[in-house]
Amino acid sequence: MDQLSQLEDTAEKITSMEIRGAGRIAKAAAVALRDYAKSLEVGSIGEFSRHIESCFKETFKTKQ
């Protein structure tokens, strides 16, 4: 499974409440984002930031 798929899987587990508790949610999200960030191959910090911000917004949407 690639890093983006793992990130999406983590987000789904958080949304479905398979991962529960503020500490566990924070740790799972941070680890998934870290691993995704490490897998990126970009040419600039701006490009890196755009990838991370876009991915975070789409993957970890909050419920209202």
Residues 14-32 have pLDDT tens digits of: 989 999 999 999 999 899 9
C-beta neighbour count of 55 within 10 angstroms: 20
Total-model pTM: 0.77
Q: Give the pLDDT of residue 54.
A: 86
* pLDDT of 63 above 80: no
pLDDT at 39: 92
Query: Is the pLDDT confidence value at 64 over 60?
Result: no
Query: Could you report the per-residue pLDDT of 35-56, keeping only the tens digit for each?
Result: 999 999 999 999 999 989 888 8
Do 58 and 51 contact (CB within 8 A), yes or no?
no
